[in-house]
Protein backbone atom coordinates (compact mmCIF):
# COMPACT_ATOMS: atom_id res chain seq x y z
CA UNK A 1 0.00 0.00 0.00
CA UNK A 2 2.84 2.41 0.79
CA UNK A 3 4.27 1.96 -2.69
CA UNK A 4 0.92 2.62 -4.33
CA UNK A 5 0.34 5.78 -2.30
CA UNK A 6 3.88 7.10 -2.77
CA UNK A 7 3.88 6.34 -6.48
CA UNK A 8 0.48 7.92 -6.98
CA UNK A 9 1.57 11.10 -5.21
CA UNK A 10 4.74 11.32 -7.27
CA UNK A 11 2.68 10.79 -10.40
CA UNK A 12 0.43 13.71 -9.50
CA UNK A 13 3.41 15.93 -8.67
CA UNK A 14 4.98 14.94 -11.96
CA UNK A 15 2.15 16.55 -13.94
CA UNK A 16 3.12 20.19 -13.25
CA UNK A 17 6.78 19.22 -13.64
CA UNK A 18 5.99 17.83 -17.09
CA UNK A 19 4.06 21.00 -17.85
CA UNK A 20 7.11 23.09 -17.05
CA UNK A 21 9.34 20.88 -19.19
CA UNK A 22 6.89 21.05 -22.10
CA UNK A 23 6.62 24.83 -21.78
CA UNK A 24 10.39 25.21 -21.91
CA UNK A 25 10.99 22.68 -24.67
CA UNK A 26 8.01 23.28 -26.98
CA UNK A 27 4.98 25.37 -25.93
CA UNK A 28 2.99 25.89 -22.70
CA UNK A 29 0.10 23.46 -22.26
CA UNK A 30 -1.02 24.43 -18.76
CA UNK A 31 -4.71 24.51 -19.67
CA UNK A 32 -4.55 20.87 -20.85
CA UNK A 33 -2.67 19.43 -17.89
CA UNK A 34 -5.59 18.79 -15.54
CA UNK A 35 -6.73 15.63 -17.32
CA UNK A 36 -3.15 14.35 -17.19
CA UNK A 37 -3.62 13.64 -13.49
CA UNK A 38 -6.12 10.93 -14.45
CA UNK A 39 -3.30 9.08 -16.21
CA UNK A 40 -0.31 10.09 -14.08
CA UNK A 41 -1.76 9.05 -10.73
CA UNK A 42 -2.58 5.42 -11.63
CA UNK A 43 0.61 5.11 -13.66
CA UNK A 44 2.67 6.32 -10.71
CA UNK A 45 0.75 4.03 -8.37
CA UNK A 46 1.56 1.03 -10.57
CA UNK A 47 5.25 1.95 -10.58
CA UNK A 48 5.21 2.37 -6.81
CA UNK A 49 3.57 -1.03 -6.41
CA UNK A 50 6.13 -2.57 -8.74
CA UNK A 51 9.01 -0.96 -6.85
CA UNK A 52 7.82 -2.49 -3.58
CA UNK A 53 7.35 -5.92 -5.17
CA UNK A 54 10.81 -5.81 -6.76
CA UNK A 55 12.39 -4.67 -3.50
CA UNK A 56 10.74 -7.49 -1.57
CA UNK A 57 11.89 -10.10 -4.08
CA UNK A 58 15.26 -8.55 -4.97
CA UNK A 59 18.32 -10.67 -5.34
CA UNK A 60 20.93 -9.41 -2.87
CA UNK A 61 23.30 -7.75 -5.40
CA UNK A 62 20.47 -5.87 -7.11
CA UNK A 63 19.05 -4.08 -4.07
CA UNK A 64 21.15 -0.94 -4.53
CA UNK A 65 20.19 -0.79 -8.22
CA UNK A 66 16.53 -0.74 -7.26
CA UNK A 67 17.07 1.85 -4.56
CA UNK A 68 19.06 4.40 -6.52
CA UNK A 69 18.43 3.49 -10.13
CA UNK A 70 14.75 2.65 -10.42
CA UNK A 71 14.12 5.62 -12.73
CA UNK A 72 17.00 4.57 -14.97
CA UNK A 73 15.66 1.02 -14.99
CA UNK A 74 12.27 2.26 -16.16
CA UNK A 75 13.92 4.45 -18.81
CA UNK A 76 15.97 1.54 -20.17
CA UNK A 77 12.86 -0.62 -20.28
CA UNK A 78 11.01 1.94 -22.40
CA UNK A 79 13.99 2.73 -24.64
CA UNK A 80 13.30 -0.05 -27.21
CA UNK A 81 9.82 1.35 -27.83
CA UNK A 82 11.29 4.82 -28.40
CA UNK A 83 13.81 3.44 -30.88
CA UNK A 84 11.15 1.45 -32.74
CA UNK A 85 8.75 4.39 -33.03
CA UNK A 86 11.43 6.70 -34.37
CA UNK A 87 12.86 4.15 -36.80
CA UNK A 88 9.37 3.72 -38.26
CA UNK A 89 9.10 7.49 -38.68
CA UNK A 90 12.51 7.63 -40.35
CA UNK A 91 11.39 4.92 -42.77
CA UNK A 92 8.36 7.02 -43.67
CA UNK A 93 5.81 4.31 -42.94
CA UNK A 94 2.14 5.18 -42.89
CA UNK A 95 0.23 6.23 -39.79
CA UNK A 96 -1.66 2.92 -39.89
CA UNK A 97 1.62 1.00 -39.84
CA UNK A 98 2.85 3.12 -36.94
CA UNK A 99 -0.35 2.29 -35.07
CA UNK A 100 0.41 -1.40 -35.51
CA UNK A 101 3.92 -0.60 -34.38
CA UNK A 102 2.46 0.65 -31.10
CA UNK A 103 1.26 -2.89 -30.38
CA UNK A 104 4.76 -4.17 -31.06
CA UNK A 105 6.16 -1.43 -28.79
CA UNK A 106 3.97 -2.60 -25.91
CA UNK A 107 5.13 -6.18 -26.44
CA UNK A 108 8.77 -5.06 -26.55
CA UNK A 109 8.31 -3.07 -23.35
CA UNK A 110 6.74 -6.04 -21.58
CA UNK A 111 9.53 -8.37 -22.70
CA UNK A 112 12.23 -5.90 -21.67
CA UNK A 113 10.57 -5.44 -18.29
CA UNK A 114 10.36 -9.19 -17.71
CA UNK A 115 14.01 -9.60 -18.69
CA UNK A 116 15.23 -6.88 -16.33
CA UNK A 117 12.99 -8.06 -13.50
CA UNK A 118 14.12 -11.67 -13.98
CA UNK A 119 17.71 -10.54 -13.51
CA UNK A 120 16.94 -8.35 -10.49
CA UNK A 121 14.33 -10.30 -8.55
CA UNK A 122 12.83 -13.72 -7.91
CA UNK A 123 9.17 -14.66 -8.06
CA UNK A 124 6.57 -14.13 -10.75
CA UNK A 125 4.68 -11.38 -8.91
CA UNK A 126 7.60 -8.94 -8.97
CA UNK A 127 8.30 -9.62 -12.63
CA UNK A 128 4.70 -9.26 -13.75
CA UNK A 129 4.25 -6.10 -11.67
CA UNK A 130 7.17 -4.41 -13.43
CA UNK A 131 5.87 -5.40 -16.86
CA UNK A 132 2.40 -4.08 -16.04
CA UNK A 133 3.79 -0.85 -14.56
CA UNK A 134 6.09 -0.02 -17.47
CA UNK A 135 3.43 -0.79 -20.07
CA UNK A 136 1.06 1.39 -18.06
CA UNK A 137 3.57 4.22 -18.13
CA UNK A 138 3.97 3.82 -21.89
CA UNK A 139 0.20 4.08 -22.31
CA UNK A 140 -0.07 7.05 -19.94
CA UNK A 141 2.66 8.83 -21.91
CA UNK A 142 0.60 8.49 -25.11
CA UNK A 143 3.42 6.56 -26.72
CA UNK A 144 7.09 7.33 -27.34
CA UNK A 145 8.27 10.87 -28.07
CA UNK A 146 9.19 11.37 -31.77
CA UNK A 147 12.71 12.61 -31.09
CA UNK A 148 13.64 12.72 -34.79
CA UNK A 149 11.02 15.38 -35.53
CA UNK A 150 12.90 18.39 -34.19
CA UNK A 151 15.35 19.73 -31.66
CA UNK A 152 12.43 20.70 -29.47
CA UNK A 153 11.17 17.12 -29.44
CA UNK A 154 14.63 15.94 -28.43
CA UNK A 155 14.72 18.56 -25.69
CA UNK A 156 11.35 17.31 -24.46
CA UNK A 157 12.66 13.75 -24.42
CA UNK A 158 15.70 14.77 -22.39
CA UNK A 159 13.53 16.70 -19.95
CA UNK A 160 11.09 13.84 -19.50
CA UNK A 161 14.00 11.44 -19.04
CA UNK A 162 15.38 13.64 -16.27
CA UNK A 163 11.91 13.70 -14.70
CA UNK A 164 11.79 9.89 -14.68
CA UNK A 165 15.28 9.66 -13.19
CA UNK A 166 14.37 12.12 -10.46
CA UNK A 167 11.06 10.46 -9.64
CA UNK A 168 12.75 7.07 -9.51
CA UNK A 169 15.37 8.39 -7.10
CA UNK A 170 12.70 9.96 -4.87
CA UNK A 171 10.41 6.93 -4.83
CA UNK A 172 12.32 4.89 -2.19
CA UNK A 173 12.29 7.83 0.22
CA UNK A 174 8.59 8.47 -0.39
CA UNK A 175 7.79 4.80 0.23
CA UNK A 176 9.77 4.89 3.46
CA UNK A 177 8.04 8.10 4.57
CA UNK A 178 4.57 6.70 3.86
CA UNK A 179 5.51 3.49 5.66
CA UNK A 180 6.66 5.36 8.75
CA UNK A 181 3.52 7.49 8.73
CA UNK A 182 1.40 4.36 8.47
CA UNK A 183 3.32 2.77 11.33
CA UNK A 184 2.81 5.81 13.57
CA UNK A 185 -0.88 5.94 12.67
CA UNK A 186 -1.24 2.26 13.48
CA UNK A 187 0.35 2.70 16.90
CA UNK A 188 -2.03 5.60 17.48
CA UNK A 189 -4.98 3.31 16.90
CA UNK A 190 -5.73 4.21 13.28
CA UNK A 191 -6.15 1.21 11.02
CA UNK A 192 -3.71 1.81 8.17
CA UNK A 193 -1.98 -0.98 6.22
CA UNK A 194 1.71 -1.17 7.08
CA UNK A 195 3.05 -3.84 4.75
CA UNK A 196 6.04 -1.87 3.51
CA UNK A 197 9.37 -3.53 2.73
CA UNK A 198 12.52 -1.98 4.16
CA UNK A 199 14.27 0.38 1.77
CA UNK A 200 18.06 0.31 2.05
pLDDT band of residue 195 (cuts 50, 70, 90) is very low
Could you give the CA distance from residue 124 to residue 101 in angstroms, rounded to a whole number?
Answer: 27
77-94 pLDDT, tens digit each = 999 999 999 999 889 888
Give ∠ CA 188-189-191 in degrees, rounded to 5: 120
* End-to-end C-alpha distance for the chain, whole angstroms: 18
pLDDT given for residue 137 in this prediction:
92
119-157 pLDDT, tens digit each = 888 889 999 999 999 999 998 888 788 899 899 999 999
pLDDT band of residue 193 (cuts 50, 70, 90) is very low
pLDDT given for residue 187 in this prediction:
59
Q: What is the DSSP letter of 26?
A: S
Domain ranges, ordered by start, for the chain: 2-187
Percent pLDDT > 70 in the chain is: 88
Backbone φ and ψ for 199, nearest 5 degrees, come out as: -105, 120
Could you give the CA distance from residue 130 to residue 115 in angstroms, rounded to a whole number?
Answer: 10
Q: Which residues contact 22 (CB under 8 A, 6 or more apart)?
A: 28, 29, 156, 159
11-47: string of b/e by CB count within 10 Å (b at 16+)? Answer: beebbebbbebbeebeeeeeeeeeebeebbbbbbbbb
> Which residues are paired to 58 by β-bridges?
121
Cα dist. 81→60, 178, 194 in Å? 29, 33, 36
Backbone φ and ψ for 190, nearest 5 degrees, come out as: -95, 130
Residue-averaged pLDDT of the chain: 86
Amino acid sequence: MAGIIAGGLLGVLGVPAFGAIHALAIVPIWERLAHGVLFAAPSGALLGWSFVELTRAARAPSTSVLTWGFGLLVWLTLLPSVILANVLRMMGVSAAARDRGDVVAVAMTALAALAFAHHLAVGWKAKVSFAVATCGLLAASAGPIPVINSRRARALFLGVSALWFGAGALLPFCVRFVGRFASVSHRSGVEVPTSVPPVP
